[in-house]
């Protein structure tokens, strides 16, 4: 053990030489000291093995550090790719929402086109009927034609009276004799036959309009339901994404909190070790100073004794004294080196503590930022949920109001149709009474009744126009809704 300890101390003593020793005797070289010590092969092999172990440990640590760096780079790359995928998913979801909105807009446009097409078809039927009516009226003279619509609505037919009846009608108009009954009675019968069929066709037109409106309302209702379902699905997706993001933020906050706690514990342990090392360094410095004082006092006493005695072995004692001084100087150098190393360790620990403190401040700032982002996300999600709920309630109320209004309009249409049918029946009864009560000299009364019938017809046409205007107004309101 003494052989192993002596070279170790000597090597530390040799490596602790500083330029402040200008007044002392220079130390011998390492070769001279090794030659003086005569180290054994076992000692050299031991130190060679130690150095090889240290080199292997250093290489192992470097390899571990490289593997850790590769793992960290791979993890960072994966996190970056995951973040890119999340951004792409968010963009795709946004594009999908936009496409749904565009799809609903296009469907609304298609429904408007369908309603416009139905309206144009109904108007085409009305125009054809008007054209047929005008052709029938313009094609013959007044009172000489009766027209019937027994064919389909797109066809018009007129039945002209024979030439004899026409001549008799002209003669009756000029002479006003009792023979007018032969021509006016068929005309009245023609008008009587034409009026119910015309009113029936008008009723069919109104029924077609009502059916078209009902189909449009059903399509609008279906579209509204699909829009509400799409909004609910979008809301569910946003809620799931918000929950996942919230859970991810919570996990990240937990991880950062654990890292912060570990960093604080490491900072506490490092600070405690630094303080302990500082305390040990001060204690060693005090012990070294006390030992130095005692050695200096002992050296003074020995020098005094040497001066007084002046023995023949003075040179030998001086050499011993020099060796003691060298040993003392070596111990002092050793202590100074240890103090310097402790000071360097203290400075390094202080740098580490400052670095850890900065990391703690940075992590706390990031934690506060993440919390603020989480709060902002929750507020935004809450606001969007409230807006979507309000929009859903508004759509529901509009749908209920539209359904109620549709029912009221349908009821009004049914009442109007019932009243028109009753009026048609009344007109038919009046015409029938007129045809039954007609006498030989009642042409003026018949003309008067015909004029009243024409007025009633114009009135009914006006009411039909008003009803058509109501239908168009309802269609415009449905478009606005």
Beta strands in 144-249 (DSSP E): 145-148, 157-160
Say yes or no: 434 and 448 in one domain.
no
Instruction: Give the number of other Cβ atoms within 10 Å of residue 453's Cβ.
Output: 18
Say yes or no: 473 and 361 in one domain.
no
In a domain, 179, yes or no: no
Q: Domain limits at 206?
A: 44-135+201-307+333-438
Residues linked to residue 148 through DSSP beta bridges, in sequence order: 157
Say yes or no: 276 and 302 in one domain.
yes
> At 439, is the secondary structure helix, strand, or coil?
coil
Say yes or no: 349 and 434 in one domain.
yes
Say yes or no: 455 and 404 in one domain.
no
Say yes or no: 395 and 429 in one domain.
yes
In a domain, 168, yes or no: no
| Max CA pair span of the chain | 194
Residues linked to residue 355 through DSSP beta bridges, in sequence order: none
Say yes or no: 303 and 449 in one domain.
no
Number of folded domains that form the chain = 2
Q: Are 367 and 253 in contact (CB under 8 A)?
A: yes
Where residue 160 falls (left for φ over 0; alpha for ψ -120 to 50; beta otherwise) is beta
Say yes or no: 120 and 240 in one domain.
yes
Question: What does R_g of the chain's alpha carbons equal in angstroms?
Answer: 58
Task: Match 């144009």 to its residue by tokens.
Answer: 120
In a domain, 367, yes or no: yes
Looking at residue 176, the DSSP 8-state letter turns out to be: -
Nearest Cα to 186, choosing from 170, 166, 201, 156? 166
Distance of CA 42 to the CA centre of its chain: 75
* Alpha carbons 391 and 153: distance in angstroms, whole number: 46
Say yes or no: 350 and 228 in one domain.
yes
* Alpha carbons 200 and 416: distance in angstroms, whole number: 14
Say yes or no: 369 and 449 in one domain.
no
Please give the structure tokens belonging to residue 25.
Answer: 């005797």
pTM: 0.33
In a domain, 268, yes or no: yes
* Alpha carbons 361 and 356: distance in angstroms, whole number: 9
Nearest Cα to 189, choosing from 435, 440, 442? 435
* Alpha carbons 246 and 374: distance in angstroms, whole number: 7
* Alpha carbons 84 and 325: distance in angstroms, whole number: 72
Say yes or no: 275 and 346 in one domain.
yes
- Name the packing angle between helices 41-139 and 2-15 (round to 10°): 60
In a domain, 4, yes or no: no
* Alpha carbons 111 and 103: distance in angstroms, whole number: 12
Q: Are 223 and 107 in contact (CB under 8 A)?
A: yes
Q: Average pLDDT across each block of 10 residues of the chain; the chain has 481 residues. List them in order.
A: 38 40 51 58 76 86 87 86 87 84 83 83 81 77 47 40 39 40 40 58 75 82 84 85 86 87 86 85 82 77 66 56 63 76 82 82 86 87 87 86 83 83 83 68 69 82 81 74 60
* Alpha carbons 40 and 46: distance in angstroms, whole number: 10
In a domain, 109, yes or no: yes
Please give the structure tokens belonging to residue 442.
Answer: 């009642």
Q: Cβ contacts of residue 377 below 8 Å, gap of 6+?
A: 242, 245, 246, 249
In a domain, 284, yes or no: yes
In a domain, 236, yes or no: yes
Say yes or no: 467 and 343 in one domain.
no
Q: Are 159 and 190 in contact (CB under 8 A)?
A: yes
Give long-range contacts, CB 8 A cutoff, 24+ apart: 455-459. Answer: 456/423, 456/427, 457/195
* Alpha carbons 398 and 392: distance in angstroms, whole number: 10
Number of H helices, E strands in the chain: 7, 2
């Amino acid at each position: 053990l003494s052989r192993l300890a002596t070279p170790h101390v000597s090597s530390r003593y040799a490596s602790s030489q500083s330029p402040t020793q200008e007044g002392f005797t220079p130390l011998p070289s390492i070769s001279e000291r090794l030659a003086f010590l005569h180290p054994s092969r076992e000692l050299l092999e031991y130190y060679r093995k130690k150095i090889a172990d240290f080199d292997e440990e250093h290489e192992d640590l470097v390899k571990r550090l490289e593997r850790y760096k590769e793992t960290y780079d791979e993890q960072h790359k994966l996190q970056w790719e995951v973040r890119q995928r999340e951004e792409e998913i968010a963009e795709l979801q946004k594009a999908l929402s936009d496409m749904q909105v565009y799809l609903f807009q296009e469907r609304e446009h298609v429904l408007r086109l369908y309603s416009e097409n139905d309206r144009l078809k109904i108007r085409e039927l009305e125009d054809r009927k008007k054209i047929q009516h005008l052709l029938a009226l313009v094609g013959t003279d007044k009172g000489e034609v009766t027209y019937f619509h027994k064919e389909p609505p797109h066809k018009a037919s007129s039945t002209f009276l024979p030439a004899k009846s026409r001549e008799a009608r002209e003669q009756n108009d000029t002479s006003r004799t009792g023979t007018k009954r032969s021509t006016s009675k068929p005309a009245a019968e023609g008008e009587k036959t034409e009026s119910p069929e015309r009113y029936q066709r008008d009723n069919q037109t109104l029924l077609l309009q009502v059916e078209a409106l009902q189909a449009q309302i059903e399509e609008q209702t279906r579209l509204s339901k699909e829009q509400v379902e799409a909004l609910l699905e979008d809301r569910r997706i946003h809620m799931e994404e918000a929950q996942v993001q919230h859970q991810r933020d919570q996990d990240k906050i937990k991880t950062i909190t654990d890292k912060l706690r570990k960093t604080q514990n490491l900072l506490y342990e490092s600070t405690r070790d630094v303080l302990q090392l500082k305390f040990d360094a001060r204690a060693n410095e005090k012990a070294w100073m006390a030992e130095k004082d005692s050695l200096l006092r002992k050296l003074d006493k020995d020098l005094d004794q040497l001066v007084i005695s002046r023995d023949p072995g003075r040179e030998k004692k001086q050499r011993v004294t020099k060796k003691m001084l060298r040993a003392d100087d070596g111990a002092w150098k050793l202590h100074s080196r240890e103090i310097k190393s402790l000071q360097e360790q203290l400075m390094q620990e202080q740098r580490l503590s400052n670095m850890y403190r900065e990391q703690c401040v940075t992590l706390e700032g990031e934690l506060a930022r993440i919390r603020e982002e989480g709060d902002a996300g929750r507020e935004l999600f809450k606001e969007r949920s409230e807006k979507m709920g309000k929009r859903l309630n508004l759509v529901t109320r509009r749908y209920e109001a539209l359904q109620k209004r549709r029912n009221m309009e349908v009821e009004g249409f049914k009442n109007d149709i019932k009243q028109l049918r009753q009026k048609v029946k009344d007109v038919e009864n009046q015409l029938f009474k007129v045809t039954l009560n007609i006498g030989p000299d009642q042409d003026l009364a018949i003309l008067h009744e015909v004029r009243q019938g024409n007025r009633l017809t114009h009135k009914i046409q006006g009411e039909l126009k008003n009803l058509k205007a109501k239908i168009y107004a309802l269609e415009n309101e449905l478009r606005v809704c």
